[in-house]
Structure 1
Amino acid sequence: MRQLVLHRLLWSLPSLAIVSALTFVLASLAPGDAARTVLGTNTDPAAYAQVREQLGLDRSLPAQYGGWLAAAARGDLGDSLFTHEPVVEILRSRVGVTLTLIVGATVIAAVLGVAIGVVGAVRGGVAGRVTDALAMLGMAVPTFWLGLLLILVFASRLGWFPATGFVPFAEDPLGWLRSYTLPVLTLATAGVATIAKQTRGAVLDAMGTEYVRALRANGLPDRAILLKHCLKNAAVPVTTVVGLVMIGLLGGTILVEQVFALPGLGQLAVSATLQHDLPVLVGVVTTYTLVVMASNLVTDVGYGWLSPRMEAGR
């Protein structure tokens, strides 16, 4: 297990370098730059050149990336081109909002998805068809549309939850929970559908094995077979899907944070892209990359815990 963790950590370094370099390249291909955003479209060329020099945009792209990479190796991600705040501080103030959203949505998706999938596999018939129908519906519904629908029903009409905004936990724990409820449910819906469908298939496969049929023939209760054997065998593929769902939720946070006006990394990424604030944008992308790597690492550790033989094979 230690070798696995060390191996993942070592591979994270070149991965981060590649992702950050691609971000620099792709951002340079977008029309406009930060100097043009500051001065506007109709401006004096001399003033435009002066602002580009002040922001360091007059240097070549390799020189800009080389300077950023050298500073990043020391833990310095630079300063925002507009607010002049350290990017590390900007990320620190927002990363908690996004991580809470992702973790909360993943937990709800895993719990509800596994429960629905198991019921669909055990009951079969109508329950199985309902599970498949819900899975298809959950994966087809656009995230932004679902968020607006929840706002319309539970915020505007019923008044149970706030439509937008964020309340820090330290100020009001109940208000914090209410401000997260609709965004988390919006983000978790597609994950619930995906995990439910995968769980149902994995449990059905486990229930159809010769080993399980032999246990049932020996008189072992169906409840014990399900809890001690079927779910254990289905845990590995379900764990894979949960890890993939968590990674997929990262993209969903951008839309959800825009719809519910949450001050997270997704909202920050949108504003940094529109303003061509490259240091902030690269910082956000790097943070997202670290979250993906952490999710993959947790999934691999889960493999080792659920299936020691699989871990030994690695």
Structure 2
Amino acid sequence: MVREAVRWLVSSLVLLFVVSALTFVLVSLAPGDAAKSILAGQTSTFTQDQYESMRALLGIDKPLHEQYWDWLTNLAHGSLGTDLFSGQQVTEVLAGRIGPSLSIILGTVLVSAVLGVGLGMLSAWRGGRLGRVVDAVSLLGFAVPNFWLALVLVELFAVRLTLFPAGGYTGLATDPAAWLASITLPILTLSAGAIAFVAKQTRDSMADVLSREFVTMLHARGLSPRTILVKHALRNASIPVVTMLGLLLVSLLSGTVLVESVFSIPGLGQQAVNASGSHNLPLIAGVAFYFTVVVIIANLLVDLSYRLLNPKVRGS
């Protein structure tokens, strides 16, 4: 157990290092920098001396490896650096952005898990026409672009029926009802394809388990179909489903970028887009750091789920 914990910690640190280093390299390869963005916002023309002075003031005149070392040093002291434009700590800038993004991501995973697993179980148990419907809906969910679906949902539920707001975000602590309304359309946008995908994975896993001999023995012992389906078959079929849910959570990190832009939600994805446009390296690195932490936590939860569901993994 200790060995597994050490291995997880080392792999997590390596992942953080690789992602953060790649972020610095990729941002440095993009044309332009924060100094030009700041000066362009202040005046239409600026001299080379003004440009060099601004670079020195921002600290981006240093070699890339020195900038990265400074960032790592700040990280070791619990800081993600300073926003090049506002002068605020990156942690303070991003503090209000985490809630909206996590609300959408976790809400989408929850909706996809509940509806997808339920539909997949029913499809595996009943089979026939319902199974073909799941396959058709899966293809449709993958074929429909998220941005198109988002616009359709806004037109239908926000403009015509006025059931939900077309954009914006309300915090959970401020107004729970308004918070739920503000994240409903983004969650529906992201979960449309995910529900069908989880349902298909659940149906295939359940169908494989239900065809095994121990299920026949359970029927012969007189157990009810519901007990066999939920208590025995689902537990044995759940590991592939848990894997898919973990992959879904990670994939939603990129999906939120588009959804937050369409619905004007002040989340990490929208912040990453704004920071990339202005070459705000500390903010970009901060968002990448938070996203990487989410990936690490998702992998940890999946691994813990394996141990709970499979005694062989728990004992290894």
Identify the match of residue 195 of structure 2 among 192, 195, 202: 192
**Are 1:286 and 2:292 counterparts?**
no
Cα distance in 2 for partners of 1:170, 1:209 equals 49
Cα distance in 2 for partners of 1:9, 1:67 equals 23
Cα distance in 2 for partners of 1:3, 1:222 equals 41
Q: Tell me the equivalent position of 1:18.
A: 18
Q: Tell me the equivalent position of 1:4.
A: 4
Identify the match of residue 159 of structure 1 among 133, 158, 162: 162
**Are 1:126 and 2:119 counterparts?**
no
- Displacement of 1:218: 4.1
Partner amino acid, structure 2, of 1:38: I
Cα distance in 1 for partners of 2:2, 2:269 equals 33
Q: How does 1:1-314 map to 2 (within 5 A)?
A: 3-40=3-40, 42-313=45-316
Partner amino acid, structure 1, of 2:11: W
Per-residue deviation, residues 142-174 of structure 1 (Å, max 9, x unmatched): 111111111010000000000011112232221
Cα distance in 1 for partners of 2:176, 2:230 equals 36
- Displacement of 1:301: 0.4
- Displacement of 1:60: 0.6
In structure 2, the gaps of 5 or more residues are none
- Displacement of 1:6: 4.3
TM-score after normalising by structure 1:
0.96
Secondary structure in 1 matching 2:32: coil
Cα distance in 1 for partners of 2:210, 2:172 equals 44
Partner amino acid, structure 1, of 2:215: V
Partner amino acid, structure 2, of 1:182: L
Residue pair 1:105, 1:188 contacting (<8 A) in 2 also: yes
In structure 1, the gaps of 5 or more residues are none
Partner amino acid, structure 2, of 1:37: S
Cα distance in 1 for partners of 2:3, 2:185 equals 40
Cα distance in 1 for partners of 2:130, 2:109 equals 24
Residue pair 1:5, 1:297 contacting (<8 A) in 2 also: no
Per-residue deviation, residues 67-91 of structure 1 (Å, max 9, x unmatched): 1111111111111110111001112
What is the aligned-residue RMSD (CA, Å)?
Answer: 1.4
